[in-house]
Structure 1
Amino acid sequence: MKNLLEVENLKVNFRTKKERLRAVRGISFSLKKGETLCIVGESGCGKSITSLSIIGLLPSNGEIAEGSIKLDGNELLGKTENELEIMRGNEISMIFQEPMTALNPTFTIGFQLREPLMIHKKMSKKEATKKSIELLEKVGIPNPVEKLRQFPHELSGGMRQRVMIAMALACEPSLLLADEPTTALDVTIQAQILELMDELKRQMGMGVVFVTHDMGVVAEIADRVMVMYAGEVVEIGDVDRIFNHPQHPYTKGLLGAVPNVDDEEHHLNIIPGSMPNLDDEISGCRFHPRCPYAMDICRKKNPTTFQVTSSHQSKCWLQEVTDVDRLHTTS
């Protein structure tokens, strides 16, 4: 199947008065239509910056230094702001982490829902209103006609997030970017939102890039998982492989930190230290200061990406050691 999204060697910097800080350090991945790719990692690893780069909404001091981002074979980098505005909401949509800041508090829900339909789909106000009611019904909002007349502050957090999803899906985009859309919600509403997004994805055949730090959410919705650390992809693979056969020590640490309520003897894993700052210069593997398996080569040389299986990659020198041991065992 042809890839819907292809990201190659993406490098993103942030300009300061003194230097350029490297936030994303040459990552590559792809996404097929109808597939959900979850990007996971601690805060500051580059997850959100990656999704903002795809939709072209980096902060003013952010810049894409190198790489390629193709949507359905169409290169996005180098497009003008006007060209990107036409694509946003139409071909690419994004659900932001906090709907209260993403929604405009001075306009009604109806105005904000109608706007993309009238701009991108050239609908009349009457047609856009009818479609807006249908969208609110689709995302499970009761009394949709009444809700169109309300302002964001009059809705609960869960309702606002459903409105954000309705806005993102209004023009039936082929690619949906979701930046931790359930973080601020209680677990009951979170489960409803995740179920809703998965159902709508199947109905519309979208590709979804879902940014999260919650491995429980990943297990529920992901087809594939991309683990990021300090601006790099350290492991990527099918969700079953990542959960049952993790290769990178960082991935193992993240999974070990997930509570297991069914196992009374389960002990939560702690990854020592913290994510390095963007201006921290670390020789070799950027995870080695926190890694319990660090070897001499880890401190001296950044690892290459090793092919574990045809659909599973790990960026860790331990993989080379494992591969060598496996060869000796089978010879």
Structure 2
Amino acid sequence: MEHLLQVENLVIGFRTAKGTSQAVRDVSFSLEEGETLCIVGESGSGKSITSLSLLGLLPENGDIAKGSIRFKGEELVGKKEEALRKLRGNKISMIFQEPMTALNPVFTIGYQLQEPLIIHQNLSKQEARKRSMALLAEVGIPNPKEKLDQYPHELSGGMRQRVMIAMALACEPSLLIADEPTTALDVTIQAQILDLIDDLKEQLGMGVVFVTHDMGVVAEIADKVMVMYAGEVVETGDVKTIFEDPQHPYTKGLLAAVPNVDDETQELSIIPGSMPSVDDEIEGCRFHPRCPFAMDICKQKKPPVMNVSENHSSRCWLQEVNNHDKSTVTS
């Protein structure tokens, strides 16, 4: 069966004065139509760089050194800029983390909303304006006719983010990439934005790649979860499995740091240390300097991705120990 999105063995490097640094290391995942994949991890784990690479939006010093990105079976790696432009904002759209920098401050909301409709949908200016007004209404913006003639700085943060969502959904894309779209918003607006994305996903049947560090958001919207650490995928699985039966120590650490509003006596756990730099070459498992369960092999040899079950995998030597124990009990 053809996936909506298939990423295999993706390696992304950045050219620096010291040489080339690997920011993303051998990342693989897939996404189906109508499915939401949440990519989670601390800042610096490679989440945003992975999502930007899907649309060929890496910084000038960044390159895909290896791997494949296929959208509906079509290879995107190595595709010419002109061909990628036909996909961006049309078949594949992106909601960026900070709308104030993503929206152009010198153009009105209406101009920026109408542009993709005119370019990709061949609508007239009148038709595009009418459709833009309807889009603003769909994302819950009051007085949409008035808002079309305003500039980004005249809107609140929540309104600007809704405009970004309207722009992303203007051409009814098959794939939506959302890079921490609710980070700067208060909890009430955040909940509204998440509900809006989920409702529109159901209406359009699109796949969603949602980048976040907020495990509460993950629990609410994800179908599948991919946990990244220092540029690598360390655990993948469906959302219920990841929350109820996490296997990698890093995933367990992230979940232990989430506060439980029903438990006033809960002491929040922390993961000691900090994320390594992309320039840091760590022998063995990249998480072992911070891992409370690190063994000798963790410091010497990089763990492969090991299957926990059919749709659940973990990059951890503890998994080999667990699998060995299970086989011993079975025999």
TM-score by length of 1: 0.99
Aligned to 2:173: 173
Matches within 5 A, 1:5-154: 5-154=5-154
Secondary structure of 1:112's counterpart equals: helix
Gaps of 5+ in 2: none
Three-state SS of the structure 1 residue aligned to 2:54 is helix
Say which SS state the counterpart of residue 64 (structure 1) adopts: strand
1:264-302 deviations in Å (ceiling 9; x for gaps): 332211100000001111000000000000001000000
Structure 1 position 2, deviation (Å): 3.3
**Partner amino acid, structure 2, of 1:125:** K
Mapped contact 2:2–2:73 kept (Cα < 8 A): no
1:47 counterpart letter in structure 2: K
Equivalent AA in structure 1 for residue 160 of structure 2: R
> Which structure 2 residues correspond to residues 149-164 of structure 1 after superposition, within 5 A?
149-164=149-164
The Cα shift of 1:17 comes to: 2.1
Quote how far apart the aligned CAs of 1:55 are. 0.7
Look up the SS of the partner of 1:163 in the other structure: helix
Amino acid at match of 2:105: P
For 1:248, give the aligned amino acid: H
Distance in structure 1 (CA, Å) of the matches to 2:43 and 2:105: 27
TM-score using structure 2 length:
0.99
After TM superposition, the runs of 4+ consecutive aligned structure 1 residues lying more than 2 A away are none
Can you give the 5+ residue segments of structure 1 that lack an aligned partner in the other structure?
A: none
Give the percent of matched residue pairs that are identical in Structure 1 and Structure 2: 73
In structure 2, C-alpha distance between the alignment counterparts of 1:196 and 1:172, rounded to whole Å: 14
CA distance in 1, matches of 2:256, 2:188: 24
Letter of the 2:64 counterpart: I
Q: CA deviation at 1:19?
A: 0.5
Aligned residue for 2:4, secondary structure, equals strand
What is aligned with 1:225?
225
Aligned residues: 331
How far off its partner does 1:326 sit? 1.1
Q: Distance in 1 between matches of 2:19 and 2:70?
A: 29
RMSD: 0.7
- Equivalent position amino acid for 2:110 in 1: G
Q: How far apart in 2 are the matches of 1:97 and 1:302?
A: 33
**Aligned-partner residue type, residue 32 of structure 1:** E
**Could you give the per-residue CA deviations for residues 42-88 of structure 1, whole angstroms, max 9, x where no partner exists?**
00000000000001100000000000000000000111111111110
Deviation of residue 3 (structure 1)?
1.1
